[in-house]
Structure formats: C-alpha cells, structure tokens
Structure 1
Amino acid sequence: MFEKIPPNVMIIATTIMAIGMGIVVTTLRAKAAKHPASVKKILLPPVFMSTGAVMFVFPFFRVTGAQFLEAIGVGILFSVVLIWTSKFERKDGNIYLKQSKAFVFILIGLLIIRVIGKIVLSSTIDVGALSGMFWILAFGMIVPWRIAMYLQFKKIQKEVTE
C-alpha cells in the first residue's frame, strides 16, 4: 500500500504534516493556558497518541531494535526541554499551566531539528522505518513530559488542599 508512494513524496508529505502538527500543538498550548488544568487534560494526549502505534502492524513502518532505542532516546532527551518549560501556578483557586514565552520557540526549534533530521536521515533509512522512528520519538517525548506535568500538578493540588 505505502510502498507504491515515491519516497520523495512521502518525505514532503510527512514534513508538511509535522509542520502542521507543530502549529496545532503551539495553538492548543496557548489556549490551554487560559483554562484551568486537570488530570484529564494532562494525561489524555499520550493515550490518544498511543493509537498511532497501530502503524507498526504494517511491515512498512517497522523499525529495528537499534532504531527504536535511538528514537526513544532522542524523544526522552527532547522531553527534558519541554519539562523544563512546563510549570503550573495557582490562580483564583484553580491550577493553570503558566505560559512560557520560551515554549513556543523551543517547540519551533524542536520541530526544525526533527524536519532537518528527517531530511538528512531519509537518504539512509527507509521512509517507512523513518516514519516509525519519528512516531516513537514523539511518543518518547510526550510520555515523560506528561508524567512530569502530572506529578507537578498533583503536588500543587496537594498544597491547595492542605
């Protein structure tokens, strides 16, 4: 199915999708800061994203063990930057995600790094495996980030109730 699509078209299409997703995430993050945070809002994005793992049912997207470790390692590394910029604050009896001016620039920077990485790696790694690796990278980034957010949220929530 995916094997019939020329690699150059796949690279361009997935790059455009990544840029679009980056814009959506940046917009959602800006809007989220205007509403109180909740456990559901923190933990549901990784759950929803996990459905993307279905892609690995198709051999086209499968990765080697080394590729998996590389992708998950880079994702965890990137998550540190997101954890660093995600802080909560109490306002009017609610807990809000603080807006960080740096977050948008960091998100754009990470997106640029991913796009450059995809372009460079597409010459040596099959397009399908590369797509799988970038999904693993994104999942490896969002899970630790959201766990850290959850722990910080619960800590602030506990302080409020004490």
Structure 2
Amino acid sequence: MNYSPILIIIILVAALIFYRQIISMFKPIRGKGTRIIATLFLLTPGYALIMNPNADVTPTEVTVALLIGCVFSIPLIFTTSYERREDGMIYVKKSLAFVVIFLLLFAMRWTIRGIIDMDSDSRMLLFFVTACSYLIPWKVSSYFKFRKVYVSK
C-alpha cells in the first residue's frame, strides 16, 4: 500500500491524541482545560488536503463524510468524562469502553479507506473531513465537560 507523508502524519496525530487521552486517565490535567482544545491544532497539516486541486469530490460525498464523522463522535463524547479525585486534581475517568471505541473507529476508518475505490487525493480529503467532523465535536464537548468539573470545586 502506498503511504503518503500526509497519511503518516494523520496516523501519528491519531496516535498522539489517543496517547494523551490514556495518559490523562493516570495523570491530572493541568490548567483550565485549554490543552484539550489545543490538540485540535494537530489537525492543521491536514488542512492542505482541503485545498488540494487534485481532489475531485462532490458536495454530496463531503456531506456524507461529515455525517459519518458526526456519528463517530457520539460514542467518543459519551465515553469521555472527567472526575475530581482524592488529591483534588481532575482526571479523565478510566474507561475501557473509550479505548475500545477509539481503536474500533480508527480500524473502521482504515478498513473503509481500503474499500473505497477512488483516487488517493479524493479519498484522503474525505477521510480528513471525517476525522475533523468527529474529533472537533468530541474535543469541544470534552472541554465543556472538563470545565463543568473544574468550576464545581
């Protein structure tokens, strides 16, 4: 399979987001939660895909990718929550369901990527749109969940 540099970046970003989420189950989250939103800046290299003139996608395909991403965000939103522990610090609640769902979603995207028959530029664009449309709602809702626990000292 041909791995372009942008695909490798996407895999690394997904791995980093997953790693940081798992670490947050064991180490407290510092600050006021802005780091939760800041991880979305890791998506910025992928925005070059949107401007790619070689990607030939229809508005319907982009809409379907957005809807699939929004559906993917729902289980992530429901399995991510925060708690204040005995030490007074805020942690991500330990959740095996989150780990399984995150890995399952990544595996589903990877499998579907191999099935879809279109040029690689268009496919990469659609999968970036899908990733953004589940990561952005998940991270924004996570931020608000964190702030709710943070404010209720």
Aligned-residue offset at 1:107: 1.4
Note closer, same or farther for the CA distance 1:19–1:143 as it changes in structure 2 (3 Å cut): closer
Structure 1 portions without partners, runs of 5+: 1-7
Question: Contact 1:32/1:97 (CA < 8 Å) preserved in 2?
Answer: yes
Give the match for residue 127 of structure 1: 120
Larger radius of gyration: 1
Once residues 102 and 95 of structure 2 are traced to their aligned partners in structure 1, the CA distance between those partners, rounded to angstroms, is: 11
Note closer, same or farther for the CA distance 1:30–1:21 as it changes in structure 2 (3 Å cut): same
Give the match for residue 44 of structure 1: 38
Is it true that 1:27 corresponds to 2:19 in the alignment?
yes
Give the match for residue 96 of structure 2: 101
Q: TM-score, normalised by structure 2?
A: 0.84
Once residues 19 and 46 of structure 1 are traced to their aligned partners in structure 2, the CA distance between those partners, rounded to angstroms, is: 14
Once residues 41 and 73 of structure 1 are traced to their aligned partners in structure 2, the CA distance between those partners, rounded to angstroms, is: 26
Map of 1:40-119 to 2, 5 A cutoff?
A: 40-61=34-55, 63-91=57-85, 92-119=87-114
Task: Find the residue that maps to 2:28 and give its secondary structure.
Answer: coil
Task: Find the residue that maps to 1:89 and give its secondary structure.
Answer: strand
Once residues 18 and 99 of structure 1 are traced to their aligned partners in structure 2, the CA distance between those partners, rounded to angstroms, is: 25
Structure 2 portions without partners, runs of 5+: none
Map of 1:1-20 to 2, 5 A cutoff?
A: 9-10=2-3, 14=7
Task: Find the residue that maps to 1:96 and give its secondary structure.
Answer: strand
Once residues 58 and 18 of structure 1 are traced to their aligned partners in structure 2, the CA distance between those partners, rounded to angstroms, is: 16
Aligned-residue offset at 1:19: 5.6
Question: Contact 1:88/1:96 (CA < 8 Å) preserved in 2?
Answer: yes
- Per-residue CA deviations over 1:89-109 (Å, capped at 9, x if unaligned) read 002222111121112211121
What percent of counterpart residues are identical? Answer: 25
Once residues 56 and 147 of structure 2 are traced to their aligned partners in structure 1, the CA distance between those partners, rounded to angstroms, is: 37
Give the stretch that moved more between structures: 112-121 or 45-54.
Answer: 45-54
Give the stretch that moved more between structures: 93-102 or 49-58.
Answer: 49-58
Q: TM-score, normalised by structure 1?
A: 0.80
What count of residue pairs does the alignment treat as equivalent? 149
Once residues 150 and 31 of structure 1 are traced to their aligned partners in structure 2, the CA distance between those partners, rounded to angstroms, is: 16
Question: Contact 1:10/1:127 (CA < 8 Å) preserved in 2?
Answer: no
Aligned-residue offset at 1:17: 6.5
Aligned-residue offset at 1:62: 5.2
